Amino acid sequence: MICVDRTEEVWSALSVVTDPEIDESVVSLDFVTDVKVASDSRVEIDFRLPTYWCAPNFAFLMASDMRDAVAALEWVTEVSVKLSDHFSADLINRSVALRQDFRDAFPGETDGDLSSIRRKFLGYAFERRQELLLRYLVAKGQTPDWFRRALLSELMALPLDPEGISLRNLYLFTMRRMIPGGLQESLAFVTVNGESLEAQDFKAYLRQITGVRRTAEFNGFLCRSLLTERVKRMGETGDKGEGRSTKDDLSANGER
């Protein structure tokens, strides 16, 4: 018997795993094709990517993040993540199953683990989400001066509509991952390096981080288009991710 609730729990756990490049959930991007929960609480996850050549380092990051996100569910005994139709699928699948480091998957082709690239893309996600929140708050009348000085507690205290709350949550989620620890009295808006915006020309700063967001959106669009064509071409039938694949925006990230 497959437990429907548990399958849903797995999908929900997967929805917080993002493609680092696009900063969107692997579920909303339709990368995950199937989730199976066996009676002994073993979980199998199948996923695919838009091209046969998608960067193996990102594929590895996503596969291991999916494994970890699902393994964190209390009842899960074992997780297997399987990437298909990718030139390094075998290496990635084996390595993720063995909980190896990326270095072990591609011996001789790396000079370290993936932590620096992970940090770099977390930084992009931070800037992208900050930009969306800043533009939203600018439209609501906040001034550059306020952004320079506002404390996290003040940002939290702002009365916002649901859209604003969602943007704030997405931003704070990434901020916490960037700067772990108690942040209540720290500045709400800092650069990716943790510096205050005091010395920044606000307009120029906004333009700079807008570029980051546009790049991510462009990549997201291209990925979706290529994946759609690839799926059509391969004549895939019975897509299990149906109904989850059309959410197109940040709110689909499912982060709370």
Partner 1 sequence: MFTTKSGEKIFIVDGHVTLWDGSDENIKNRYGEEFIKCFYDYHKLSPQEYIWPYKKYQKYSEEDFEQDVFQNGYVDVAIFNPQFLGDFYYSGFSNVARNEGFRKKHPGQVITNGYWDPRNEEVGLKQLEEDVQRYKWPGVKLYTAEWKGDSKGWKLTDPWSYRYLERSQELGLKNIHVHKGPTIRPLNKDAFDVGDVDEVASMFPKLNFIVEHCGLPRLSDFCYIAAQEPNVYAGLAVAIALIHTRPRYFSEIISELLFWLGPDRILFGSDYALWQPKWLIERFIDLELPEDLAAETGQITFEAKKKILGENAARLYNIEIPGRNESGAQAGSQKPEPAASVA
Q: What is the DSSP string of 76-90?
A: --EEEEEE-S-TTHH
Cβ proximity to partner 1, 108 vs 141, nearer residue: 108
Q: Pick from 94, 120, 140, 176: which binds partner 1 (CB under 8 A)?
A: 120
Closest CB 128 distance from partner 1, rounded Å: 11
Q: Pick from 111, 161, 198, 242: which binds partner 1 (CB under 8 A)?
A: 111
Q: Is 113 in the site for partner 1 (CB under 8 A)?
A: yes
Q: Rounded to the nearest 5 degrees, what angle is found at the Cα of 59, between the Cα atoms of 171 and 39?
A: 90
Q: Pick from 14, 37, 212, 250: which binds partner 1 (CB under 8 A)?
A: 212
Q: Is 84 in the site for partner 1 (CB under 8 A)?
A: no
Nearest to 22 by CA among 232, 218, 166: 218
Q: Is 149 in the site for partner 1 (CB under 8 A)?
A: no
Q: Is 137 in the site for partner 1 (CB under 8 A)?
A: no
| Sign of the alpha-carbon torsion through 212, 218, 219, 224 | positive
Using CA atoms, how far apart are residues 48 and 51, in angstroms rounded to an integer?
8
Q: Alpha helix (H) ranges present in 15-114?
A: 56-71, 89-97, 102-105
Q: Is 251 in the site for partner 1 (CB under 8 A)?
A: no
Please name the residues in contact with 70: beta carbons below 8 A apart, sequence gap of 6 or more.
Answer: 10, 13, 14, 43, 45, 76, 79
Report the interface residues with partner 1, using CB under 8 A: 21, 50-57, 87, 102-103, 106, 109-114, 116-117, 120, 207-208, 211-212, 214-215, 217-219, 221-222, 225-226, 229-230, 233
